[in-house]
Structure 1
Amino acid sequence: MGPRVPLPPEIQLAQRLAGNEQVTRDRAVKRLRKYIVARTQRAAGGFTHDELLKVWKGLFYCMWMQDKALLQEELGRTISQLIHAFQTTEAQHLFLQTFWQTMNREWTGIDRLRLDKFYMLMRMVLNESLKALKMQGWEERQAERLLELLTTEILHPDSQAPSGVKSHFLEIFLEELSKVGAAELTADQNLKFIEPFCTIAAQTKDSLVLHNITRGVFETIVEQAPFAIEDLMSELEAPEEEEGTSEDEREEDVPSKEPRRGSLHGAAPDTSEEPAGDGEDSVGPVLQFDYEAVASRLFAAASQQDTPSQNRKRLYKVIRKLQDLAEGLFPEDDVPEKACRNLQEDRRERKTKKRLPKSALQNKAGKGGEEDSCADLSSGAERMARRQGSGAERAGPQEQPGGPAGRGARKRRRRRRPRAGARAKVTDCQDLRMRRRQPPRSGK
């Protein structure tokens, strides 16, 4: 036998990443990071598309074999941060491209119990890819390349992405973008990030993709508009308050040691310790948008001649909401509690009236109404009984036209067969007639 040919390092790492023992998998992940850094530092180095597909095959089954939620989260963070080990932007994009291709290929084989950790892995990889873009200063060219990559591999009609991958990506994209860049991105930059979704929503023939884009991107922007405006106003008011405050005002704000009247044990409740963002109404960081510009861009995409009618109808509803926001009209105004309660009670009463039958509604009219209705019903029943009784007495002695006294009886009488005695009488008469006709014989 000849000497054994050594396997390529990518295949060796993939085999160790998919090993049965956790210690072997952890060591393989650390070696993979060092290998990526060493190989991408060289000018002539870098990975090919097939090599990274093999690496992601091993990383996929490394995540597959991992149990326990905390360890899964730690491993997902480690895998997603491998993008920062690549030294060039082209290598990073190739790493992301092969990741989404691997998820599209392996998605149908994931069982129900392992879906959550791969949902988490997709979220973490998207978050780290946006962080890598943030490190580059949100450069427009790099942002366009990233959006083109995501659109081609996930949302394009020719892509092999399953519906689960598309739906989850559309659900988390705006959320992860707001986590990474809400403090830095401007309204014009945010418009660039959602432009691909405008085009796809107008041209797609998949109703599920249209629904997810409308719900996960555009309607989310509409719902977060009050919080975005509130954040913008607070940012504008912050420098004015800092300039207007003086030392005397700060001294006045110091709480006095004397207890306030009406407070429990003479001390006022301290609410300053509660963070402002921990309430129920807080939604975290929110992106800023120029709603008029978003409506114009969406209208330009939806008004094309080749746009399907159902897409145009759905997008026009969103455009109206965005135009209302641009004019300062919010779609959901706060309703007072009393008015809300009255509306709910009226709706409940209407529903109960619709569900009740007519007899139950008549029973609710009152006791007097019940007695009158019962008397009317009893008198009506008696009248019907009398009519039926009189009709029965009249019809009793009479026979029906089809009975024995009718025409049918006459026909049956005509068709009766003669009796045996009658037949005998007829034959006797015929014999007598024959005898009379015969001449008498001579006595010769």
Structure 2
Amino acid sequence: MSAASAPAAPPLGKYLASSEKKTRDKAVKSLAAFLSNHDSENVLPDLEMAKLWKGIFYCFWMSDKPLVQQALAGELAELILTITDVPSSLNFLRGFWMMTVREWNGIDRLRMDKYYMLVRKFVNASFRLLVRTKWDSAAVQEYNSILSGPNGPLCPNDIRVPTSLAFHLSEIYLEELDKALTSSESPPPAPLSTLLSPFITLAARTPTNTTYKHIQSSLFEPLGDVLKSSSGPPSRKKARTSSPDYSQLLVNTCTSSPGGDGAMDAGAVRSSIFQKIFDVASETETRDANRRRMYAFYKDAVEDDEDSAG
């Protein structure tokens, strides 16, 4: 569809949520055409964005075959990259997360796996968007605020946010970042310490013990082990039977700004991440029980590095 014939408004939710697959497919294509001509001068009001995402949510809800679901999840996630204006892309992404948090507890057990897949696709597309901006600091900061702010999946002080969303994100986050780097041509180094900030803040401030434990065991510990094994002798304290393979991430990461000296040594990245965990643990907003756990985690990592060096 040409720019001249692109729709002036997004397709109505009733078409996106139609029981007819052909109608839904046509509505998604119409939405892609609309968004491809969307920019910061033409931002959808919050109410319209909420209505649009309600329609998209039920469009995906109605997809009922694995291959159809997978294709649609990918097509919906690609909408983030269809928008040519980065602030508008991030605004659209904010709508996705607000919808996901709002509707998550209403998803039945039989549909949950496909929504986990949808989340995974959106995480991957979000990273590819940030790669396209060359990890622009303002874009990364806005992305982190979408995750950690009100109605975000990693918001630490909103009990309405489902804990299973944070669990899922902590399990897939680095894997999808590694995939995004692998699929991009000559990507700038990923600012890993900055990208982990929402999880470190959630670990510090969550009132739920299981959330803290899951973030540490599924994200911080595996990442620390991988960075350790690639920069020196394996840990003497912990011998994991299986570690994730973040091959692209290990050779193309930095701490906070890709505009510095480029990719950094894995050992330096590991040190910077543990230092950030220590620094956030020291903040006044950190819950006392979490502070003790974070200090202990940091202390174990430093001692392990010292043992290996010795």
TM-score, normalised by the number of residues in structure 2: 0.78
2:202 corresponding residue in structure 1? 200
Are residues 216 and 185 of structure 1, via their aligned partners in 2, closer, same or farther at CA, if it must alter by over 3 Å? farther
In the alignment, structure 1 residue 104 sits paired with structure 2 residue 119: no
Are residues 70 and 317 of structure 1, via their aligned partners in 2, closer, same or farther at CA, if it must alter by over 3 Å? same
Are residues 179 and 227 of structure 1, via their aligned partners in 2, closer, same or farther at CA, if it must alter by over 3 Å? farther
2:27 corresponding residue in structure 1? 28
Alignment check: 8 A CA contact 1:14 1:58 kept: yes
Structure 1 residues 315-374: Cα deviation after superposition (integer angstroms, max 9, x where no partner): 2332133214543639xxxxxxxxxxxxxxxxxxxxxxxxxxxxxxxxxxxxxxxxxxxx
Q: Which residues of 2 match residues 377-388 of structure 1 at below 5 A?
A: none
What code does the residue aligned with 1:219 have?
E
Q: Residue 296 of structure 1: CA displacement?
A: 2.2
Alignment check: 8 A CA contact 2:174 2:246 kept: no
Q: Which residues of 2 match residues 9-48 of structure 1 at below 5 A?
A: 9-10=9-10, 12-38=11-37, 40=38, 44-48=41-45
Are residues 226 and 297 of structure 1, via their aligned partners in 2, closer, same or farther at CA, if it must alter by over 3 Å? closer
Alignment check: 8 A CA contact 1:218 1:318 kept: no
* Aligned residue among 113, 117, 120 for 1:116: 113
* Aligned residue among 87, 91, 95 for 2:88: 91
Q: Residue 290 of structure 1: CA displacement?
A: 2.3
Q: Tell me how far apart the structure 2 counterparts of residues 292 and 69 of structure 1 sit (CA, whole Å).
A: 42
Q: Residue 306 of structure 1: CA displacement?
A: 5.7
Which contiguous aligned blocks of 4+ residues in structure 1 show a shift greater than 6 angstroms? Answer: none
RMSD: 2.6
Q: Residue 122 of structure 1: CA displacement?
A: 0.4
Structure 1 residues 379-412: Cα deviation after superposition (integer angstroms, max 9, x where no partner): xxxxxxxxxxxxxxxxxxxxxxxxxxxxxxxxxx
What code does the residue aligned with 1:293 have?
S
2:171 corresponding residue in structure 1? 171
Alignment check: 8 A CA contact 2:205 2:285 kept: yes
In the alignment, structure 1 residue 295 sits paired with structure 2 residue 292: no
Structure 1 residues 32-56: Cα deviation after superposition (integer angstroms, max 9, x where no partner): 1112223x15x74232222121111
Are residues 181 and 322 of structure 1, via their aligned partners in 2, closer, same or farther at CA, if it must alter by over 3 Å? farther
2:223 corresponding residue in structure 1? 221
Alignment check: 8 A CA contact 2:226 2:243 kept: no
TM-score, normalised by the number of residues in structure 1: 0.56
Alignment check: 8 A CA contact 2:227 2:270 kept: no
Structure 1 residues 146-187: Cα deviation after superposition (integer angstroms, max 9, x where no partner): 111111112223443211222112222222122223785648
Q: Which residues of 2 match residues 155-166 of structure 1 at below 5 A?
A: 155-159=154-158, 160-166=160-166
Q: Tell me how far apart the structure 1 counterparts of residues 139 and 177 of structure 2 sit (CA, whole Å).
A: 15
Alignment check: 8 A CA contact 2:147 2:198 kept: no
Structure 1 residues 106-135: Cα deviation after superposition (integer angstroms, max 9, x where no partner): 111111100010000001011101101101
Q: Which residues of 2 match residues 312-391 of structure 1 at below 5 A?
A: 312-324=291-303, 326-327=305-306, 329=308
Percent identical pairs in the alignment equals 31
* Aligned residue among 245, 250, 255 for 1:283: 245
Q: Tell me how far apart the structure 2 counterparts of residues 217 and 225 of structure 1 sit (CA, whole Å).
A: 12
Structure 1 residues 190-232: Cα deviation after superposition (integer angstroms, max 9, x where no partner): 12222333333223222122112212321121231355338xx
Alignment check: 8 A CA contact 2:124 2:177 kept: yes
Q: Which residues of 2 match residues 249-260 of structure 1 at below 5 A?
A: none
Q: Tell me how far apart the structure 2 counterparts of residues 304 and 30 of structure 1 sit (CA, whole Å).
A: 47
Q: Tell me how far apart the structure 2 counterparts of residues 172 and 23 of structure 1 sit (CA, whole Å).
A: 32
Matched residue SS, 2:18: coil
Q: Would you say how many aligned residue pairs link Structure 1 and Structure 2?
A: 270
